[in-house]
Amino acid sequence: MKRQRILTIFKMEMRKLLRTPMFLFFSLFFVAMLVLIFGFALSNVYGWGPEKSIFEQMVPGLFAYSGILTIFTVASSVLGDRDNGVQRRMNTTPINSGEVMVGQLLAYTIIPIIQTVIILITALLIGFRPNISVAGIVMVFVFSIFLSFCSVGLGLITATIAKDAKAAGGLAFIFIVPQQLFGSFIYMGEAVKVVGYAMPSQYVTDALYRIFYGTTLTDVNIWIDLLAIVIISLIIYFIGLKLYDKYKNG
């Protein structure tokens, strides 16, 4: 493992995000925009229960939703690299897949941190007032990072299935839509709640809801959610990496 190669992959991933308008919008600003819209529209609407407004109930899921969208950016991005031949060219250099993996994970640790900061600031500006400790804020970042790893894995699986970058953009929604409906900011009712537990994002939404609304970190449910998302993320990430490794030469 060479630090020089890992940092080069990390820098390239960050530049890709910052210099590709579509990735920048979907990664950093789309969900912040949803927070603004829902904040204005639903801050004083109490359709889902008497204690909290619909917007307050949606906020934890919106954090998770931003992580889910990473599937789309990863799938489009890695297939773009394959389509323009960069992936094949890299395979003729001495870099190994471990160095690529660490560089990539480093980038997808930083990106959810930026996402979380932007969404949190936007939500606070529009009147969201969580009952959260400093340790709780740290846990929000931890959950976001692990959901990001999971989404990178699902993005790589999408890239394996899709023929090109354009197709990947569409196919990514196979993994995005179910998580959006059953495991993020949309309340589908108690009857389908059980479906949510098949969605990685549900564990993040559930934990963030508790953390934002005053549950202390001694609550075992938060740690169960964390354990679940860590296990799911690592499994999905390594499946994605293995599958994509087979097909990357296209």
Partner 1 sequence: MLKSKKNETKSPAGITNSNSIEVKDLKKHFIGKNRFNDVKAVDGISFNVKKGETFGLLGPNGAGKTTIINILAGLLKPTEGTAKVGGYGLMKNLNEVKELISVCPQEAAMYPFLTGRENIEFFANMHLMSKEDINERAKKLLDLLGLFEASRRKTKEYSGGMKRQLNLIIALINEPNILFLDEPTVGMDPRVRRKTWEFISSLDNQDRTIILTTHYIEEAEALCDRVAIIDFGKLVGLGSPKELMEKHDSKNLEDVFLKITGRKILEGI
Contacts with partner 1 by CB under 8 A lie at 2, 4-5, 8, 12, 15-16, 19-20, 81, 84-86, 88-96, 249
CB of 79 to partner 1, least distance (A): 14
- 3-class secondary-structure state, position 213: strand
**Taking the chain, what is the end-to-end CA distance rounded to the nearest angstrom?**
26
Question: Structure tokens of 18?
Answer: 């910052």
CB of 119 to partner 1, least distance (A): 25
φ and ψ of 40, to 5 deg: -65, -40
| Euclidean distance between CA atoms 195 and 179, whole angstroms | 10
Question: Structure tokens of 208?
Answer: 């963030």
CB of 200 to partner 1, least distance (A): 29
Q: Are 160 and 75 contacting, i.e. CB atoms less than 8 angstroms apart?
A: no
- 3-class secondary-structure state, position 131: strand
**Among residues 91 and 216, whose Cβ is nearest to partner 1?**
91
CB of 192 to partner 1, least distance (A): 41
CB of 142 to partner 1, least distance (A): 30
How many Cβ atoms sit within 10 Å of the Cβ of residue 66? 28
**Among residues 95 and 106, whose Cβ is nearest to partner 1?**
95
**Among residues 58 and 78, whose Cβ is nearest to partner 1?**
78
**Among residues 52 and 242, whose Cβ is nearest to partner 1?**
242
Report the candidate in 55, 61, 215, 32 with the shortest Cα–Cα distance to residue 147: 61
Report the candidate in 112, 114, 127, 121 with the shortest Cα–Cα distance to residue 38: 127
**Among residues 84 and 216, whose Cβ is nearest to partner 1?**
84
**Among residues 68 and 100, whose Cβ is nearest to partner 1?**
100
**What are residue 213's DSSP bridge partners?**
131
Report the candidate in 140, 157, 132, 123 with the shortest Cα–Cα distance to residue 67: 140
CB of 117 to partner 1, least distance (A): 23
Q: Are 1 and 102 contacting, i.e. CB atoms less than 8 angstroms apart?
A: yes
**Among residues 84 and 221, whose Cβ is nearest to partner 1?**
84
CB of 136 to partner 1, least distance (A): 37
